[in-house]
Structure 1
């Protein structure tokens, strides 16, 4: 039995590129957002808040990214999973870094979690679109 576990995570350079990709895509959509990229352990690698983004955008984006990293599924998936479980939803919503709002997407390559991204400040659909755009753009550059 080994006492050491090796992990892999997104580099800070890739996280910064993802933040840029999100902000560029948001600009094309005509919206202002906040974006946070975290490691699989939920440690923040990079974040950006566009001018005119809601003041809460970064803190909500951080919750979205943390939720996606924690459970390895998009934060939006929790809406369906908890639809008929109000007690579980109530308990999870009391957790500091949990949200079921869409815009948190895990970054998974070959079945392994390398981090996650959270976007907030636009509509839920636009937040998801910006996050997915950044992941696709970054993974295509590998």
Structure 2
């Protein structure tokens, strides 16, 4: 076969994730930038809460890009810091993809039936706070899917 179908995160699912992430952010008392990409790694939905750092907009988008493209949470890279220092096997990876690849926690892939369909990237807080808010978004998508019992994204 010369072509293949790739499942993508829907706008509806992205909006559900963004809403849940905002609710988590409000409970923490912090405003965040929240970006969602689909499996193509392109921006699908974005929310900038009122006091989110303007310099974190691109960071949130790039966290989603990295998580979807590499199919792992960006926090994975923070535990492997020595690999990304000069002389390490992953040194300079942050310069790949036009500088969009990020090693900062806060990007979480959204996986359905073993396939990454997109990702959420969150930025403004610490990497741990960003990851917590992103995870709330992912969890909301999974809860929504369970209610729909297998409907397509």
Q: TM-score, normalised by structure 2?
A: 0.86
What is the match of residue 61 of structure 2? 62
Of residues 110, 118, 122, the one that matches 2:125 is 122
> In structure 2, the residue corresponding to 1:130 is in which secondary structure?
helix
Aligned pair 1:140/2:139, yes or no?
no
Cα distance in 2 between the residues matched to 1:131 and 1:85:
24
Give the RMSD, CA atoms, in angstroms: 1.3
1:47-100: CA deviations, max 9, x gaps? Answer: 001001100222100110011011100111112234244244442122321111
What is the match of residue 83 of structure 1? 82
Residues 1:85 and 1:43: Cα distance change in structure 2 (over 3 Å): closer
Q: Which 4+ stretches in 1 moved above 6 angstroms?
A: none
Structure 1: which 5+ runs fail to align?
A: none
Q: Shift in Å at residue 38 of structure 1? A: 0.2
Counting only pairs closer than 5 Å after superposition, residues 3-14 of structure 1 correspond to structure 2 as 3-14=2-13
Cα distance in 2 between the residues matched to 1:84 and 1:17:
35
Aligned pair 1:25/2:24, yes or no?
yes
What is the match of residue 103 of structure 2? 100
Cα distance in 1 between the residues matched to 2:30 and 2:6:
35
What is the match of residue 42 of structure 2? 43
Q: Shift in Å at residue 129 of structure 1? A: 0.7
Report the count of equivalent residues.
Answer: 141
Cα distance in 2 between the residues matched to 1:84 and 1:112:
27
Cα distance in 2 between the residues matched to 1:84 and 1:6:
35
Structure 2: which 5+ runs fail to align?
A: 146-153
